[in-house]
Amino acid sequence: MARTPIIAGNWKMYKTPKESVEFVRQLRDQLRDVKDREIVVCPTALSAAAVVETLRFSNIQVGCQDAHWENEGAYTGNISPAMFKEAGVRYIILGHSERRQLDNDTDTRINAKLKNVLRNSLKAIVCVGETVLEREAGKTEKVIEAQVKGCFEGIGLGDLADIVIAYEPVWAIGTGKTATPEQANEVHTFIRGLVAKGYNSEAATNMRIQYGGSVKPENIKQLMAQPDIDGALVGGASLKVDSFGAIVQF
């Protein structure tokens, strides 16, 4: 079965609740007729409920950018998957490199968060990616393998349908420097191979792997033309209705 392309916008710490609602109203109208791809917007947690409300009965799903490994507890400042679930959120991004670098997300933590996301019947977008130093040192595959193994530790075959992997080379995020489609595809093929090794070839064939890092309307077509690229996780260009709309309709 062909993999349905999945285009997700990671808004990071942009847009107030009012701006978020206004944005998705416009986006909803612009993308009303899109049927052959999955569309996800990931506002800040504060805006999630209002965005869900605005997108009810639309073809756009809502994700958030992180969720805790417990469902409740004395964890000041955190939000659990159970809470997101009640608010109507469907996807949780986990292990984004900004969180790995600035908020202590390790593979072990991401793994615990992933398990809790799945326990709550939510879907996850698990991010992996190497830094420029790691790439230059020829360590890309080693780094990606450790991240995938660490994040997927103890995750059963039956859960894979609820997981999307996002390959985001750290050096391509917010820099305007996209990996070439071939460079990205090479890593995607490697990741698919890891899924085949860890699970089986059917699971690998079905796994959707998004590319993220300076995706724009100008480069989405070439990226999506690659055999192992199944979608995009878009940062900066997801903040404007026109550019995100154009990316979705590549």
Residue 217 sits in the site that holds ligand 13P (CB under 6 A): no
Tokens of 81: 């998957």
State in angstroms the smallest separation of the CB of 168 from ligand 13P: 6
As a whole number of angstroms, the distance between CA 241 and CA 23 comes to: 7
Residue 169 sits in the site that holds ligand 13P (CB under 6 A): no
Query: Cβ(13)–Cβ(44) under 8 Å?
Result: yes
State in angstroms the smallest separation of the CB of 74 from ligand 13P: 30
Residue 234 sits in the site that holds ligand 13P (CB under 6 A): yes
Is 130 among the residues known to form the active site? Answer: no
State in angstroms the smallest separation of the CB of 176 from ligand 13P: 8
Q: What angle do CA 170, 242, 176 make, to 5 degrees?
A: 25
The window from 46-54, 140-148, 149-157, 211-219 that contacts ligand 13P (CB under 6 A) reads 211-219
Is 136 among the residues known to form the active site? Answer: no
- Span between the terminal Cα atoms of the chain, in Å: 21
Instruction: Pick the closest to residue 173 from 215, 223, 124 (CA basis).
Output: 215
State in angstroms the smallest separation of the CB of 6 from ligand 13P: 13
Instruction: Pick the closest to residue 220 from 236, 234, 239 (CA basis).
Output: 234
In angstroms, the Cα distances linking 158 to 109, 120, 196, 212 are 21, 15, 14, 26
Query: Cβ(73)–Cβ(41) under 8 Å?
Result: no
Residue type at 156 in one-letter notation: G
Q: Figure out which of the listed residues 15, 68, 96, 188 binds ligand 13P, where binding follows CB under 6 A.
A: 96
Catalytic residue among 96, 98, 134, 188: 96
Contact string 9-48 vs ligand 13P (x = CB under 6 A) = -x--------------------------------------
Catalytic residue among 38, 130, 134, 168: 168
As a whole number of angstroms, the distance between CA 169 and CA 211 comes to: 9
State in angstroms the smallest separation of the CB of 113 from ligand 13P: 16
Count of residues near ligand 13P by CB under 6 A: 14
Pairing relation of β-strands 38-42 and 6-10? parallel
Closer of 2 and 13 to ligand 13P (Cβ): 13
Residue 219 sits in the site that holds ligand 13P (CB under 6 A): no
Q: Figure out which of the listed residues 168, 185, 228, 250 binds ligand 13P, where binding follows CB under 6 A.
A: 168
Q: Figure out which of the listed residues 213, 217, 231, 245 binds ligand 13P, where binding follows CB under 6 A.
A: 213
Helix, strand, coil % in the chain, rounded to nearest 5: 45, 15, 40
Cα 23 from chain centroid (whole Å):
20
**Chain contacts with ligand 13P (rule: CB under 6 A):** 10, 96, 168, 173-174, 212-215, 233-237
Q: Which residues are catalytic?
A: 96, 168
